[in-house]
Every structure is written in C-alpha cells, then in structure tokens.
Amino acid sequence: MALANMDQHRISELVLDNHYLPTGINPFIFTSCDDDYNKLCKIVEKPGFNRFVLSLITGWIRDDGEYEDWGFYRNGSIRKFLAKASDLEEMVFKIDYNLGDGSLVGMRDYVSLFDLFPLDAWPKLRHFGLVGMQVTQENLISFLRQLPSTVRSIDLSFLAILEWRA
C-alpha cells in the first residue's frame, strides 16, 4: 500500500466496493495486525479522511470454516481500526455472506453491531450502510437508535435477521 507511505497525501475517500459480487479484501488482515493492517490504519486515520466503503470476502469462511475462523469479527481489531477514522462522514460495510443460497445462517456467525462499529468515534457521520450481515432485530434497532444525530441516510441491504435463542 504505497498510499500509506505518503506522509502528505490528501486522500479523503477509500472505496473497496464489491458491487454485490462475491469479492472483497481478505478479512484476515484484521486478525494479525500486521504490516498491511498498519498501512491501512495510516490511510484512514489522516485528518480529512471522510468516506470509507469496506468490502470483505467472507462467503468461503461460512462454507468451509469453523467458528474460530470468524475471529476477525470478535478480536476487536475491526472496531479499533474503524475508530481511527474519526472524520468519517460516510461508512459502508459490506460482506459477501451469500444469504440467498438457501443455506442456514446461524448465531455462530453473529456478532453485535456495537462490537464492530465505534459510533462514538464518528461525530460527523452522515451516511451509514450495511450489506450482507447477519443481525438480530433487537441489535439492529438498538444500533440504529444510537447512530449520531448527524446521520441523514441509512442503507440496509441483504441482511439476515437471526432469531436469538438462548
């Protein structure tokens, strides 16, 4: 990521959009906090960085993976990473979970939206988008209520609403 090495860059947007195709960046960038992760952090933490569309490729984990493979959601690094983008006005998070293929989605793949998105770090947020996630109705409603008052638009697409069973 040559962009991260540019001390004086004026990049205000980074769009890694999958255009609803089964593609995106590898989510395991968030498991090790390695050099690639650190370079991505340098880009989004610059003052004036205000738009981020992040697409992760995760469908293959659901098909072939184990519960532990979803650690990139649960280790806190996505949340910490996104908190660095304190000037965000637009945040869109997409995954290619492939909800429409008839497969059962379950609580094993679920993570609270509050564990992923640092709403308190985004006082300028105007647009929030969420595509392809598994959510519970209660968590989604609670999360939407907590969005900053600056939010003017919300895009929720291809969500799987899970039923919580204790």
Host H or E run for residue 77 = helix 77-83
Q: Judge whether 59 and 22 are in contact, CB under 8 Å.
A: yes
pTM score of the predicted model: 0.83
Lowest-confidence pick of 12-26, 48-62, 117-131: 12-26
Contacts of 51 (CB under 8 A, 6+ apart): 12, 13, 14, 15, 88, 89, 90
Query: Span 44-68, mean pLDDT?
Result: 76
Count Cβ atoms below 10 Å from residue 33 Cβ, excluding itself.
14
Residue bearing the bigger pLDDT, 20 or 156: 156
**pLDDT above 60: residue 104:** no
Residues in Cβ contact with 52 at an 8 Å cutoff, skipping those fewer than 6 apart? 13, 14, 15, 44, 82, 85, 88, 90, 91, 92
Structural domain boundaries in the chain: 2-162
Answer whether residue 98 shows pLDDT above 60.
Answer: no
Looking at per-residue pLDDT, the higher value among 86 and 63 belongs to: 86
Rounded to 5 degrees, φ, ψ at 30 are: -95, 5
> 4 pLDDT exceeds 60?
no
- Give the model's pLDDT for residue 95: 86
Q: Determine whether 79 is exposed, middle or buried from the number of CB atoms within 10 Å of its CB (0-12, 13-18, 19+).
A: middle
Mean pLDDT, range 53-65, rounded to an integer: 69
Three-state secondary-structure class, residue 4: helix
Position with higher pLDDT, 17 vs 5: 17
On average, the pLDDT of the chain sits at: 82
Which residue did the predictor score with more confidence, 86 or 29? 86
Question: If pLDDT is split at 50, 70 and 90, which confidence band does 38 have?
Answer: confident
